[in-house]
Structure 1
């Protein structure tokens, strides 16, 4: 993966958990396997730990950066006037929708949500649900991208009425990837649906094969490597991402028309030769999406807001680390953390919730 993720040290890559590995992530209401009794007024020691980026009792454990995300969001609200939220995620999945709902539930619908987004991708269906959830709680949705909003993050951006993209903002292609584990011993673990779809064209351009006459032979060769139902999984994944993208673009550009929306989706799915291609704000604007540049003050606040996850991408420690965060300016904070690996147990992801009233649940 390009950009910041490529800077991870090999030893951190080994310790880093897959979001679906080990014990399932904990959702609101589930009992924690490691309760952390903390209240916002729980004493100077807890306050010191929190300000230093540590959980109580975890002296020296770097979990979040030193600045308080809520303070940054509060300042962003004073600058822009909307309700500011942060969604920072290594990989978006269904648990982020639950965390976001915990942040939004019980609040009146607002005129505008300003969402600071930083993610390297995630699950298509979960991302669609997150986008629709945000739209249900605001008349207008603005997504502010200081850094990465790739793959599924780009899909989420399509639902915004406006994109505020900083100088370092990069979106990415949305071609779906499907796990190929068990299909090829020496092959990649995940394969893009575009790689499968372009096989006939590659056979014609590289080897001079007549694409129509040799379709049966090409399909036979592919079927020997991939189980036929795996191929249909690629096909369905491609259809699913295109349908979701057209649906979300219609929220941003209702007057674009079906043909215009299909053109944008085709470009995002099939228009780039690498899933890691960095789509700049100039490229996004050329696609016809609504893009603006932040003011210097807005850009500074956006950048600071993404620091917790960005810092963990480049450094971690033996005591665990941060996989994601949902936060607002009023004190709500949900963090997706992972436990430190042990000789008997791999790292395990879990959620911690810090509510304005002081309750902390896992």
Structure 2
């Protein structure tokens, strides 16, 4: 058996004998089972029901309604109401979380640009309507955007009234035909794209995945603490002159990565069984988990270079946990809403991993680029550390 394989087996045995690592590994799949029992995917009891009352013979309100139907998910369900009394009674009884009453002259008011009070919100005390309001307003914006754009162009004398009217007529005909003529993106005040599909909440599956990712982060962090402790033990001190430090580091990281892949893979499999419609496909999940483990490994090694003292590194673990819980999209994606902390949220691997799981191509590209940067930083940190150790060794011999 080669030295490298023997070192991996030794590290695996050491990890599995320590309670902290075992707790992280067992909690990963158990969290999925617990969340599945607490929030079953087939249950509708936890769905946020929202009533929508539309006026009769209103084409534009029907466009808003079609867009709202695409936003219904496991957290939010939009229900078409029959009357204003039904909305108020259901909200008062807390059967519906809130309701939205569209003005009877909805189309006419949109045409003349009178938006104030065009939708009335009905809510009960302590109602959680912030996210549903964002969804309703964003759907309304998609319908109003062409009119707003034409008003702006006319105010700048870039279009005449006849040209604006002709464009709006073509727009309405194209919309009825199901053709896409314009791409609209809602942006936050910091310039980031606002995703209305996340406005209703992270969801039980997202919380499960976030807590699993947090446990992987804790496992990698504990590996960093263990690695600093190993560098001071007698066994590793004795083999230090005979084997390069990079081989010992690679063996330790490989053992930790294998355990993280096993625990994380089992947790993702359990989550897929409980929430089958969530996340990416099989190959996508494997790729995302592999990239995430690689980013954690690089970040943990960088931390050992920045904080080379085991006790200091262990002391700041609670700070990193609080930072991840507050800034990563485990319970709430604060970085998407608060511009001042967005840069700090983007430094955390959990943020990129969770956004890549629930997002699209852009989030995946950002995650890959972030991980590549961490790999480069870890390589540079390892090279600098090796050079400093070599210089220190030569000085001692001299």
Normalising by structure 2, we get a TM-score of 0.26
Q: More strand by proportion, 1 or 2?
A: 1
Higher RCO (CA 8 Å, separation ≥ 6 residues) = 1
Normalising by structure 1, we get a TM-score of 0.28
Query: Of the two, which has the highest radius of gyration?
Result: 2
